[in-house]
Amino acid sequence: RVLRTGKIWTTMYNQGIVPDVPKFFGRRKGRVVRKAKQFLLEKMLPQMRVTSAADFDVEKLFGGAKKEICLEIGFGDGQHLYGQAKNNPQNGYVGVEVFQNGVANLLTLISGIKDGDKLPEEIRAEDYPVRNIRVYDDDVRLLFKQIPDNFFDKVFLLFPDPWPKKKHAGRRFVNPDNLKEVYRVLKTGGLFRIATDHPVYKRHVLRTMHQDAGFIWTAKCGEDWKREPADWVRTKYQQKAVREGRRPVFFDYRKI
């Protein structure tokens, strides 16, 4: 808490450094990344990586104009991000994920290269059908510093770590500081979608978003936030939650 609100935090953040506390995410690495995925991380990821403010030019990002530009914060294993990009080639997508195994899984979905396959000597991301994804594999708070105002049409925050214990509440991504940045990078009328299956996070989102005057909840009735949005892409995590009796909810907010 001291680091986050005090002068030490402010100084480090302005220098482009985010200290380990508080974190809004869990591990950066999981089980050992196998040969094919390691190859993709080394050879393919650098071609898709967003690195600086200079990258936030639509022509430079995606090689041409796009109908909508979307940001997914914490894309997990990449299923939703990949599905959205595949279903909407007219749009551009920037995905943020610190978990190395998740980034590798996204690259597998895009390239089709998996363990046991013969690896090519060279690989070009532009040779694959889904070419409208760019990746930032670090803390999104650092990326926020690089993004111009009113850049994105949509921001997705799907099944974030709920940090259910009261002592960890400050680690939840939905908080006033982060909402200021989401508000800034969204276009007026832009969509901010939050999905969760955790009862603590459901209440937290409703309470925190209600207190933010920059967003308006689009739901007109109870079923509006209990059913999947029309453009939804299901993920393995969501299917597991449903099997275990946890019903996901989907909050859509618009920037005023």
Cβ(136)–Cβ(63) below 8 Å? no
- SS3 letters across 164-210: CCHHHHHHCCCCHHHHHHHHHHEEEEEEEEEEECCHHHHHHHHHHHH
- Report H helices in the chain: 2-5, 7-14, 35-43, 45-48, 58-62, 79-87, 100-111, 140-144, 176-185, 199-210, 236-243
The DSSP bridge pattern shows strands 186-196 and 249-255 to be antiparallel
Single-letter amino acid code for the residue at 192: F
| Residue positions annotated with a catalytic role | 161
Q: What order do you get walking across the sheet with 152-158 strand by strand?
A: 133-136, 92-96, 69-73, 152-158, 186-196, 249-255, 215-217
The DSSP bridge pattern shows strands 92-96 and 133-136 to be parallel
Residue 148, CA atoms < 13 Å, CB-side half-sphere:
11
Q: What are phi and psi of 69, to 5 degrees?
A: -115, 125
**Terminal alpha carbon distance of the chain:** 30
- SS3 letters across 127-154: HCCCCCEEEECCCHHHHHCCCCCCCEEE
